[in-house]
């Protein structure tokens, strides 16, 4: 099974996303579609806080929530707000390769030392902080995580279309995740 689907033409966009804000996102970012003018958000984008990612989309096109690993579990009120008040009916979750939220335990010492050296925190407190929060924010595999998060959000908001994607940092393109 090919899990990541590259988008190099409009025909590559899954039929269920064509002529929707999800399809437009792919056209703007990957295909260089000329920006349209928007006065209100068309969708919600949940993406990682990683600084290596930048989306090519028009102003006012989307609400964007950036969290480690594109993990929206602890931003659910903001998601609900975008749906209830912002009137969005489409959500895209964008994970990326080489994500720092994968295998967090391997960064334990770097994390603790960084808090001690760069923030002036007590070493014991920094270690407790890591041990308390790392399990909440560990995402495992990027593709598996955005797929499972999309499924979770579909169950939570059954009338909203949710699409998982991956951003490859080496080519700065979005890829659809084949969930089948």
Beta bridge partners of 177: 4
Q: Do 123 and 67 reside in the same domain of the chain? A: no
Q: Do 22 and 78 reside in the same domain of the chain? A: yes
Q: Do 154 and 117 reside in the same domain of the chain? A: no
How far is 13 from 117, CA to CA, in rounded Å?
Answer: 47
Q: What is the pLDDT of residue 28?
A: 98
Task: Please list, in sequence order, all residues whose beta carbon lies within 8 angstroms of the beta carbon of residue 150, skipping any fewer than 6 positions away.
Answer: 91, 93, 162, 163, 164, 177, 179
Q: Do 118 and 37 reside in the same domain of the chain? A: no
Q: Do 43 and 86 reside in the same domain of the chain? A: yes
Q: Do 155 and 96 reside in the same domain of the chain? A: yes
pLDDT tens for 58-110 read 999 999 999 999 999 999 999 999 999 999 999 999 999 988 898 899 999 99
Q: What is the pLDDT of residue 140?
A: 87
Q: Do 66 and 154 reside in the same domain of the chain? A: yes
Q: Tell me which residues of the chain have a pLDDT lower than 50.
A: none
Q: Do 92 and 123 reside in the same domain of the chain? A: no
Q: Give me the number of domains the chain comprises.
A: 2
Q: Do 51 and 124 reside in the same domain of the chain? A: no
CATH code for position 73: 3.40.1050.10
Q: Do 84 and 152 reside in the same domain of the chain? A: yes
Q: What is the pLDDT of residue 139?
A: 87
Q: What is the pLDDT of residue 132?
A: 96
Q: What is the pLDDT of residue 98?
A: 87
Q: What is the pLDDT of residue 52?
A: 84
Q: Do 75 and 9 reside in the same domain of the chain? A: yes
Q: Which domain holds residue 87?
A: 4-101+140-177
Q: What is the pLDDT of residue 172?
A: 95
How far is 137 from 73, CA to CA, in rounded Å?
Answer: 9
Q: Do 71 and 117 reside in the same domain of the chain? A: no
């Amino acid at each position: 099974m090919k899990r990541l689907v590259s988008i190099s033409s409009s025909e590559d966009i899954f039929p269920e996303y064509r002529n929707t804000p999800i399809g437009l996102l792919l056209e703007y970012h990957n295909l260089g579609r000329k920006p349209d003018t928007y006065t209100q958000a068309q969708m919600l984008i949940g993406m990682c806080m990683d600084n290596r990612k930048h989306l090519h989309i028009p102003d006012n096109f989307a609400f964007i929530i950036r969290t480690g690993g594109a993990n929206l579990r602890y931003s659910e009120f903001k998601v609900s707000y975008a749906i209830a008040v912002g009137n969005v009916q489409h959500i895209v979750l964008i994970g990326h390769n080489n994500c720092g939220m994968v295998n967090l335990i391997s960064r334990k010492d770097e994390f603790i030392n960084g808090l001690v050296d760069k923030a002036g925190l007590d070493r014991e407190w920094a270690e407790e902080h890591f041990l308390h929060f790392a399990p909440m924010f560990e995402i495992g595999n990027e593709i598996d995580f955005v797929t499972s998060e999309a499924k979770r959000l579909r169950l939570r908001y059954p009338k909203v279309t949710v699409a998982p994607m991956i951003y490859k940092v080496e080519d700065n393109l979005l890829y659809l995740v084949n969930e089948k």
